[in-house]
Structure 1
Amino acid sequence: MAKQKGFRNEDAVLDIHDRPKTWQLFGLSIQHMFAMFGSTVLVPILVGLNPGIALFSSGVGTLLYILITQAKIPAYMGSSFAFIVPMMALMKTTGYPGIAQGTISVGVVYLIVALIISHFGSDWLDKILPPIVVGPIVMVIGLSLAGTAAKDATMRQLTATKSVYDLKFFAIALLTLLVTIGFNMYLKGFIGLIPILLGLIVGYIIALAFGVVDLTPVQNAKWLQIPYFEIPFVTYKWKFDLGAVLSMAPLAFVTMTEHTGHIMVLNTLTKRNFFKDPGLHRTLSGDGLASMVAGIIGGPPVTSYGENIGVLAVTKVHSVYVLGGAAISAIVFSFIGKLSALIQSIPSPVIGGISFLLFGTIAANGLRILIDNQIDFNKKRNLMIASSILVIGIGNASLNISTLSFSGLAVATVLGIVMNLVLPDLAASEK
């Protein structure tokens, strides 16, 4: 592993290139795996993908990221929530082939931006994606999913086309929400870092008590089972889908801002400057290649995970060996058939209860971006940009041209970027 010579962070229990003892490595790696587990498997559950493949792709993606960044950055790649809206839409129309092309296109955008940054620097990225654009887009990602969360929490599916309101489902969802909020508020230490996972477990137990869980698939599943990888030209016929690409690719610019923010936090934690060494172009390349591999094998796009950065901050264990161990653990767990079946047996009201909190938190983070950057909404320019993004995105004002379809979120993202570039700083009446 390439080392940053001449420096060691003395505040760290284990610095980036310190190798823990074997028994320590196992425990620390499993801790990181559980930190990302709940969110990483929740994305495929919401979209309708295989959770086992998502675990596998997150592990492989993390190992690729470590390799491309020359083992200098302790980060974990997990399923990204930013692409849930277009993935849900694509699942209903084109199925996984469309999602695969969208996911691969996200990785391609990352690689193109990484190439540009390696030649021209990254200042231009800040100009097209300032907080006034990013904040409302992040809010849209959360709020546009509110209807899905409410449906999961209240509606029991009778047939493929018919569902009915079920008070029992709503009770399970609210109880799941409340216990997850409790875990977030009152737990400390490591277990305080995995409230989503604990909420899923307790919600599942509540659903069992209400008799709405079907354990038959779990009983029938094998202990060891190869995930059903969705591979183009092997398991399905590849047909280029421009609409799928254009629905997901623009959102890559949004997740890049999240990626950059995570690198900033890691810089502070590790007392290094990863923008210079190994460089932002390498971190983006690692993230992009990880998403491309995920798309090729059947997983959702991946991104660096704040949950694992939280573990780094609390434990002060920054060893890249531990993150590599977590990736290998995720790959191993993806081959446990009963685990995948157990995850897929989680009933919709449990997912709905978790989603109430999760989607709301995503939206609130968008609001926080605006507050932290002191965006002035007395300026008409800011008001015009934010209001257009919010209504078009939340209302899902999709653009359909012949066989092409662009989600409201994709339209809002592109429109927000264009408006930010062309609108003057002050309106005529403000001068």
Structure 2
Amino acid sequence: MAEKQFRNPDVVLDIHDRPHGLKWLGLSLQHLFTMFGATVLVPILVGINPGIALFSSGLGTLVYLFVTKGKIPAYLGSSFAFIAAMQMLMKQDGYPAIALGAVTTGLVYLIVSAIVKKAGSAWLDALLPPIVVGPVVMVIGLGLAANTANQAMYETLKNGEQLYNVKYIIVALITLAVTIIFNMYLKGFLGLIPILLGIVTGYIVALFFGIVETQPIIDAPWFALPDFQAPFITYQPKLYLTAILTMAPIAFVTMTEHIGHLMVLNKLTKRNFYEDPGLHKTLMGDGLAQIVAGLVGGPPVTSYGENIGVLAITRVHSVFVIGGAGVLAILLGFVGKLTAIIQSIPGPVIAGISFILFGVIASSGLKILIDNKVDFNIKRNLLIASVILVVGIGGLKFEIGAVAVSGMALAALFGIILNVVLPKQAKSEIEIENEQSI
């Protein structure tokens, strides 16, 4: 007789419970709207069509659910970790380089997945301890601070000149203020979407100040194909070494987020996803989703912390609801008016939101160090963190001919190398210990 399947008694809908009709539609829309703000913010910052980002996010989520056999309630959205790298690649070589970078990060995941299946995951923990991951995550947020401040202050004219604009600062600060208020005082479902509400409120304020171009929205059709950037169709594939060297190291950072999210999901759902379907399967699903996203024209996707927040508060853990959210994201990618509205969001509104989002990312890196009680009295830890922070935030670039490695990628590489080669203790620390023991 088959063993009875476990069901979590503390939830409204467990992983394999399927809602029906309008209830299914409503729950999936709720889940998608919670992911919406962050998912479309990434392509706006990079210059990628938001419609294709929605499409690739939904498709990536369905790929992940398929690979993990529908056992993990996870939604995949546009990854913030790659923003700085993608902005650099977009200016230098355009979308084809970003596409190659996204495919590269997916391949890194697949390689690590194969190694984890064969040798376990202990080596990954040794390669990426908190002293490396924490500062690198801080760099992801702080490295974008200067661009965000400029976006809040300067209007870019048609000739490319940047003009200081007081209206921009006012709109950015109002957007920042209302988003903070929404974060602090809203509860229930509204408490889950403060970023989306902040963008909507900031957009309305920007309309009042007359800094939104509405004509493209009027001209946009209701139905429009997303801006697919498929290889061999839209462009001729080419080897961009800069894209590979810049984005591949960042994949290890998003991997630690992936593993951390799984750890929280294990506790929330009362299951062990490391064992079933296995860490190698979850990494494989994430990697294949990134490859698919890159091939169709979207930014790399990864698991979202917002997803866990929705699961915790609604107590709806159904993979059918998450799959429905993925399908709805794909469908919304074909709504031309929606894409035009998203593209019309002015810079100061995005800046006001980004002050919080990028700050939260940086703070998350600090939290990793605090939670793991990293001791900065130890010279090894101090040196690793110092190098990562200054190289990453300073934007150090290693360039030979057409090949360039950005500050964030260098920061991650330097951190990994220093963690491997530096001894556990400096000789001076050993000497002090010996003197104290006499």
Band the TM-score falls in, shorter-chain normalisation: over 0.9
Q: How many angstroms does 1:250 deviate by?
A: 0.6
Aligned equivalents of 2:366, 2:160: Cα separation in 1 = 36
Q: Distance in 2 between matches of 1:393 and 1:5?
A: 51
1:53 is the counterpart of 2:65: no
**Cα distance in 1 between the residues matched to 2:205 and 2:22:** 35
Q: CA deviation at 1:306?
A: 1.0
Q: Secondary structure at the match of 1:217?
A: helix
CA deviation profile, 1:65-121 (whole Å, cap 9, x unmatched): 000000000100000000001000001100001100001100000000001101110
Give the structure 1 partner of residue 436 of structure 2.
none
One-letter code aligned to 1:231? A
Counterpart position of 1:325: 324
Structure 2 counterpart of 1:225: 224
**Map 1:409-420 → 2, pairs under 5 A:** 409-420=408-419
Q: Secondary structure at the match of 2:149?
A: helix
Residue 153 of structure 1 is matched in structure 2 by 152
SS of 1:9 mapped into structure 2: coil
Cα distance per residue 1:280-320 (max 9 Å; x no partner)? 00000110000001110110000011111111101111111
1:104-115 equivalences under 5 Å are: 104-115=103-114
How far did 1:4 drift? 9.1
Runs of 4+ in 1 over 6 A off after TM superposition: none
Matched pairs, number: 429
2:433: which partner in 1? none
Equivalent residue for 1:163?
A: 162
Aligned to 2:295: 296
Q: Report 1:251-400 matches (<5 A).
A: 251-400=250-399
Deviates more, 1:151-160 or 1:333-342: 151-160
1:239 offset after TM fit, Å?
1.1
8 Å Cα contact 1:65-1:287 kept in structure 2: yes
Matched, 1:214 2:213: yes
Measure the CA separation in 1 of the matches of 2:3 and 2:86. 39
Rounded to whole Å, the distance in 1 between the matches of 2:43 and 2:416 is 29
In the superposition, the TM-score normalised over structure 1's length comes to 0.98
Q: 1:160 to 1:142 in 2, by over 3 A?
A: farther
The alpha carbon displacement at 1:6 in A equals 2.8
Counterpart of 2:132, as a letter, is V
Distance across 1 between alignment mates of 2:94 and 2:42: 16
- Which residue does 1:16 correspond to in 2? 15
How far off is 1:342 after superposition?
A: 0.2
% identical aligned pairs: 63
- Specify the code of the residue in structure 2 equivalent to 1:46: L
Question: Over residues 389-417 of structure 1, what are the superposed CA-to-partner deviations in whole Å (9 max), with x where a residue is unaligned?
Answer: 00000001010012100001111101100
Write the deviation string for residues 251-300 of structure 1: whole angstroms up to 9, x where unpaired: 00000000001111111111000000000000001100000011101100
Tell me, yes or no, if structure 1 residue 95 matches structure 2 residue 94: yes
Note the C-alpha offset of 1:159: 2.5
- Tell me, in whole angstroms, the C-alpha distance in 2 between the residues paired with 1:35 and 1:67: 22
TM-score (norm 2): 0.97
Runs of 5+ consecutive residues of structure 1 not aligned to the other structure: none
Amino acid at match of 2:34: A
AA at the equivalent of 1:258: E
Q: Partner of 1:425 in structure 2? A: 424
* Residues 1:192 and 2:191 aligned together: yes
Cα distance change on mapping 1:281 and 1:157 into 2, 3 Å: same
Is the counterpart of residue 43 in structure 1 residue 21 in structure 2? no
